[in-house]
């Protein structure tokens, strides 16, 4: 089953122009099946949108502005770092954010957000029914009811209204719909590492990888496979081996860190950063985000 998951992830991550590079069985069997499933999914989304449009499915409106962070492809595209980035902007503006996450698997993303945003005014709500979770938190802590002009001033001059955030009321909701490298990108990284001064400038002699699905819960057989792979690398190169796991792996499966304690283990943390382009950068994003929040109050 895990091999099938890895095959599906590989097909989904392959650009259309490189589909011919896939193994024959994946191209001839898996690709048509996934294409058919995608068509059914698009059809179901179109039907769902129509049901909402005609009022046949209920809509729930929150009393605060809502920022939804999603993606056009599969998981592992940086949604959770983006959520944290937006939450920090709101915190700095004196608008306490409520992050609503479904809490997949053992809640790895929620744990990561709680650790990163510890000590701030941000609140984390976990649950599949995010409307109910939000309602519960609003009932316990309340929500901000700023007039348009006051809200605008608060976003522009957060320090002037800093005390308003101390009451713990929620001012904005952020929906978290969380770093994986594609095969093409991995080849480029390997090539660079092997050609830079015979790797002495960087250090690693070989980059190897094991792919698991997003939110995969590490099992004992996975641990054995990881230990076997690390042992072979150590014997082959007669040097110390470093295992790198994602921060979500760290939060979800602490067992993996205990079981491979004979090897050095590094936890890869990711953060969101906006690279300036055409004269626009992080300051532009912050300003536009604040303007959008204000507009939701009719300002």
Angle 132-106-1 (CA atoms, 0-180°, nearest 5)?
Answer: 120
Do residues 148 and 38 share a domain?
Answer: no
pLDDT of 268 strictly over 70? yes
Measure Cα distances from 96 to 56, 103, 121, 233 in Å. 33, 21, 5, 48
- Asked, for residue 274, whether it belongs to a domain, the answer is no
3-state secondary structure of 244: strand
The pLDDT of residue 178 is 36
The conformational region for residue 280 under phi > 0 = left, psi -120 to 50 = alpha, else beta, is beta
Q: Is the dihedral of CA 81, 87, 91, 92 positive or negative?
A: positive
Distance of alpha carbon 164 from the chain centroid: 30
Determine the pLDDT at residue 173.
Answer: 93
Task: Please tell me the predicted confidence (pLDDT) of residue 3.
Answer: 74
173-220 pLDDT, tens digit each: 998 873 446 556 556 656 665 665 546 555 555 677 777 766 677 777
Considering the domain architecture, whether residues 155 and 70 belong to the same structural domain is answered as yes
Residue 216 lies in a domain: yes
Report if residue 159 sits inside a domain: yes
Tell whether 82 and 164 lie within a shared domain. yes
Distance CA(297)–CA(299), nearest Å, equals 6
Task: Give the per-residue pLDDT at 122.
Answer: 93
Q: How many domains, the chain? A: 3
Question: Are 162 and 285 in a shared domain?
Answer: yes
What is residue 162's predicted lDDT score, i.e. its pLDDT?
Answer: 46
Tell how many helices (H) and how many strands (E) occur in the chain: 12, 6
Mean pLDDT of 82-101: 90
Q: Is residue 58 in some structural domain?
A: no
- Give the model's pLDDT for residue 180: 44
Q: Is residue 286 part of a domain?
A: yes
Q: Among 53, 78, 95, which residue terminates a domain?
A: 53
Position 144 pLDDT exceeds 80: yes
> Residue 132, Cβ neighbours under 10 Å: how many?
12
User: How would you class 251 by CB atoms within 10 Å of its CB: exposed for 0-12, middle for 13-18, buried for 19 or more?
Assistant: buried
289 and 264 belong to one structural domain? no
Q: Which residue has the higher pLDDT, 2 or 102?
A: 102
In a domain, 61, yes or no: no
Question: What is the per-residue pLDDT for 117?
Answer: 93
Asked if pLDDT for residue 299 goes beyond 80, the answer is no
Q: Rounded mean pLDDT of 143-167?
A: 56
The verdict on residue 273 lying in a domain is no
240, pLDDT greater than 50? yes
**For the residues 57-74, what does the mean pLDDT come to?**
79
Domain span at 99: 66-179+279-295
Condensed to tens digits (0 to 9), the pLDDT of residues 4-62 reads 777 777 777 677 777 787 888 888 888 888 888 888 988 988 898 889 888 888 888 88
Which pLDDT band, with edges at 50, 70 and 90, does 228 fall under? confident
Tokens 């053992």: give the residue.
Answer: 106
pLDDT of residue 127: 87
In a domain, 60, yes or no: no
Instruction: Give the C-alpha separation, 119 to 246, whole Å.
Output: 23
Tell me, yes or no, whether 233 and 285 share the same domain.
Answer: no
Task: Name the token pair of 156.
Answer: 């522009």
Shared domain for 73 and 43, answered yes or no, is: no
Each residue's pLDDT tens digit, 106-124: 667 888 899 899 999 999 9
Q: State how far the Cα of 296 lies from the Cα of 171, in Å rounded to an integer.
A: 12
97 pLDDT more than 90? yes
Query: What residues contact 138, with CB distance under 8 A and at least 6 apart?
Result: 62, 63, 170
Are residues 160 and 285 both part of a single domain?
A: yes
297 pLDDT higher than 50: yes
* Contact residues for 85 (Cβ-Cβ < 8 A; gap 6+): 271, 272
**Higher pLDDT residue, 262 or 254?**
262
d(CA 279, CA 196): 33
Q: What gap in Å lies between CA 291 and CA 67, rounded to an integer?
A: 13
What is the token pair recorded at 243?
């295992």
- On whether both 32 and 19 belong to a single domain, the answer is yes
Give the pLDDT of residue 233: 84
The confidence score (pLDDT) of residue 164 equals: 45
Identify whether residues 188 and 175 lie together within a single domain.
Answer: no
Residues 288 and 149 placed together within one structural domain of the fold: yes
In this structure, are 174 and 262 located in the same domain?
no
């Amino acid at each position: 089953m895990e091999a099938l998951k890895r095959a599906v992830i590989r097909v989904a991550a392959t650009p259309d122009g490189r589909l011919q590079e896939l193994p024959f069985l994946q191209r001839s069997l898996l690709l048509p099946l996934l294409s058919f499933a995608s068509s059914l999914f698009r059809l179901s989304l179109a039907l769902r949108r129509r049901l909402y449009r005609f009022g046949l499915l209920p809509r729930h409106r929150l009393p605060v502005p809502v920022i939804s962070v999603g993606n056009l492809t599969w998981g592992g595209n940086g949604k959770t770092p983006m959520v944290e980035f937006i939450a920090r902007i709101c915190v700095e503006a004196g608008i306490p954010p409520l992050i609503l996450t479904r809490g997949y698997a053992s809640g790895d993303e929620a744990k990561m957000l709680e650790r990163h945003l510890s000590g701030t005014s941000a609140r984390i709500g976990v649950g599949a029914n995010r409307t109910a979770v939000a309602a519960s938190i609003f009932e316990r802590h309340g929500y901000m009811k700023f007039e348009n002009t006051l809200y605008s001033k608060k976003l522009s001059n957060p320090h002037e209204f800093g005390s308003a955030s101390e009451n713990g009321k929620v001012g904005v909701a952020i929906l978290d719909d969380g770093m994986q490298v594609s095969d093409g990108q991995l080849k480029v990284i390997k090539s660079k590492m092997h050609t830079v001064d015979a790797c002495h400038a960087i250090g690693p002699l070989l980059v190897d990888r094991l792919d698991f699905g997003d939110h995969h819960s590490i099992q004992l057989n996975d641990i054995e496979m990881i230990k076997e792979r690390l042992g072979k690398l150590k014997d082959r190169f007669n040097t110390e081996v470093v295992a790198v796991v994602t921060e979500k792996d760290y939060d979800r499966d602490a067992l993996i860190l205990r079981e491979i304690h004979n090897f050095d283990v590094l936890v890869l943390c990711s953060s969101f950063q906006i690279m300036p382009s055409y004269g626009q950068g992080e300051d532009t994003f912050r300003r536009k985000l604040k303007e959008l929040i204000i507009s939701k109050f009719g300002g």
